[in-house]
A and B are shown apart, each in its own frame.
Chain A
Amino acid sequence: MENLGTKEMREMAWDIIYNRRSVRKFTDEAVSEEDLKLILEAGRWAPSGEDAQPWRFVVVQDEERRKALGKISAQGSGRRFSGEFITKNLHKRFSSLEDEEKKKAIFKKLTSGDVSAFTGTAPVVIAVIGKKDVWDLPFDTSAAIENILLMTTALGLGACWVIAPCIDIRDELKVKELLEVPEDYKVISLIPLGHMDRLPRPRPRIELNDLAFSEKYGSPLYDK
């Protein structure tokens, strides 16, 4: 308790938050039981509305089951991006990219679902599921997921918050069937995690003065 508010604690917390990345490449090194338990404990200690604690974690390590999750993930995101390709939204999104070969490669990676297929390559996949009969399910489970991601980062491991296999109800039903999730629970997200190949670079962020407002929307809290 006496460590809270210290300079060291502030810096450590900031380091963890800032260095959290969406990691999609893992080494073959196994995740230790000790690390896995700490990661799950971090999820368990998230806040929840009315202290409902609706999260449950299905830890998948079996190779065939991980491959099946990877396939559902690939199908989900490949389908979504294929739709974006057909409507030319993908072309608009990457209109500033002048390298045509690179653009073509990106389109292929997105429409093939490869961008999410990595889910099956992680040594551990945590399926975060949530009990439906609570007030604040999406918020509670998101808090648990972020705790999981931050603890993973603190342990020097990598993870990614993957929604592609669950966002479409048709894909979620496949995951539910695979993991035998009962009807009164829903699959929120998959978190593939493991030892990372490398720490990816951070993605650009909206400037703080463009998203923090004083007293009312639109009145910047900070000067530019």
Chain B
Amino acid sequence: MSNDKYYSEIVKDLELSFWDERGRGARYRTTLVGVNYFKEKYGSDLADKSWSKTVQNVIDALVKDNIIKNATYDGKGNVLVVEFEGCVHLDVERELAKKNIDPFSCPCANVVMHYIDSLIGANSELVSIELTGDNCKVTIGIVGSTLEEI
């Protein structure tokens, strides 16, 4: 028995509660949301010596686990941009946007950051999340290194 709409509503209500409680600070308390699922399922298997292959591995896992339909990415210097297509979390973000709340948490981006961070030994920063139709474009700031140095 499954009720995706119900779970989506619950997640939206929780995110709204979090926003009410912490405002812009909420984004920093949700940087690990979604990570444990992938750590437990895939361990360090998604990390590769190359940042590009690592991001692709994460995308493949997100697709395999029916979380997104697909994703593309591009990165240079300190900036990595990933565009997720058809993410299961999209409805939650759309509901927040109706209340003029900019998206502040992206579990998919959190997983990308987790595995990239394992290559650079430092934490990256989820800089922005933009909703574009059925896609979410996330910008990740690579700090303490550049993608070319990884």
Residues of chain A touching chain B, judged by Cβ–Cβ distance below 8 Å, are: 75, 78-80, 82-83, 86-87, 167-171
* Contact (Cβ within 8 A) B79 A86: yes
Residue of A nearest to B35 (CB): A170
What are some 10 contacts across the A-B interface (CB < 8 A)?
A: A75-B123, A79-B124, A82-B125, A82-B141, A82-B143, A83-B127, A168-B123, A169-B29, A169-B32, A170-B123
Given A75-B123, A168-B31, the answer on whether A83 and B141 have CB atoms closer than 8 Å is yes
Interface contacts beyond A79-B141, A83-B126, A169-B31: sample of 6 additional A-B pairs, CB < 8 Å, sorted by A:
A75-B122, A75-B123, A80-B28, A82-B141, A82-B143, A86-B78
Interface of A is mostly: helix
Q: Find out whether the CB atom of B127 lies under 8 angstroms from the CB atom of A87.
A: yes
Residues facing A in B46-92 (CB within 8 A) are: 78-79
Q: B28 to A87, Cβ gap below 8 A?
A: no
Contact B128 A170 (CB under 8 A): no
B144 lies within 8 A of A75 (CB): yes
Q: Does B25 contact A (CB under 8 A)?
A: yes
Instruction: Give complex CA distance A171, B139 in Å.
Output: 20
List B residues 78-111 near A (Cβ within 8 Å). Answer: 78-79
Name B's A-contacting residues (CB within 8 A): 25, 28-32, 78-79, 122-128, 139, 141, 143-144
> In the bound complex, how far is the Cα of B28 from the Cα of A75, in angstroms?
14
How far is B29's CA from A75's CA once the two chains are assembled, in angstroms? 16
Shortest 5 CB-CB contacts between residues of A and residues of B: A83-B125, A83-B127, A168-B28, A79-B125, A167-B28
The interface residues of chain B lying within 8 Å CB-to-CB of A78 are: 143-144
Inter-chain contacts of B78 with A (CB < 8 A): 82, 86
Q: Complex: how many Å from CA A87 to CA B24?
A: 15
**Contacting pair B139 A87 (CB below 8 A):** yes
CB distance from B146 to the nearest CB of A (A): 12
CA distance A82 to B30 in the complex (A): 19
CA distance A80 to B143 in the complex (A): 10
Q: How far is the CA of A82 from the CA of B31 in the complex (A)?
A: 16
Shortest B78–chain A CB gap in Å is 7
Name the contact of B128 in the complex, choosing from A75, A87, A168, A169 (C-beta under 8 A): A87
Q: CA–CA, A78 to B122, complex, Å?
A: 11
Instruction: Pick from A79, A87, A169, A171: contact of B143, CB below 8 A.
Output: A79
